[in-house]
Amino acid sequence: MSFTVPNDNLDKEECPLAVIKCIDFRFRESDQEFIEKGLGFKDFDLYAWPGSAKDVLKNNGFKTDFIDKLVSVSKNLHSVKKLLLLWHWDCGAYGGSKSFSSVEEEESTYLKDIRTVRDMMVSELPDDLEIIMAYSKRMPQGLEYIILE
């Protein structure tokens, strides 16, 4: 059995954005929509890992390997100019929402960690690679994506 899918990107050599996000299936479609419609990027390199880049906080081999791949593939091969660090509410890598005493504690933890990861990576990434941070949380009408400063 075979399956053919049209693909207009096969001859492209440049990509504007790399994204590191959690693998959680619940967020795949809405993350894609946020990246395309909210940020305006149709094409991007995708790095999906449980907890997004939470493992960078361990300052171990994951951080080194991730930065090496990001620079050698996304930056040098695909000419990426921006990196999106994307966190989400109820992340299983943190034990989920039930692991926090309040919604405020949960959000505060995620926002602190995403900024710490950014600060850890910025010194090791090329100066011309802009880091964007975003966080999604559940709202009555769906997910709200917040772009962080």
pLDDT tens-place string over residues 30-80: 999 999 999 999 999 999 989 888 888 887 888 888 899 999 999 999 999
Confidence of residue 112 (pLDDT cuts 50, 70, 90): very high
Place of tokens 């993350």: 31
The whole-number pLDDT of residue 149 equals 87
Say what the pTM is.
Answer: 0.91
Question: Containing H/E element for 135?
Answer: strand 130-139
pLDDT digits (tens, 9 = 90+) for 122-141: 988 999 999 999 999 999 99
Confidence of residue 89 (pLDDT cuts 50, 70, 90): very high
Give yes or no for residue 12 having a pLDDT over 80. Answer: no
What homologous superfamily does CATH list for 17-148? Carbonic anhydrase (3.40.1050.10)
Cα–chain-centroid distance for residue 21?
Answer: 3
Write down the domain spans for the chain.
Answer: 17-148
CA-to-CA dists, residue 23 to 9, 27, 30, 92, angstroms:
23, 8, 13, 10
The whole-number pLDDT of residue 35 equals 98
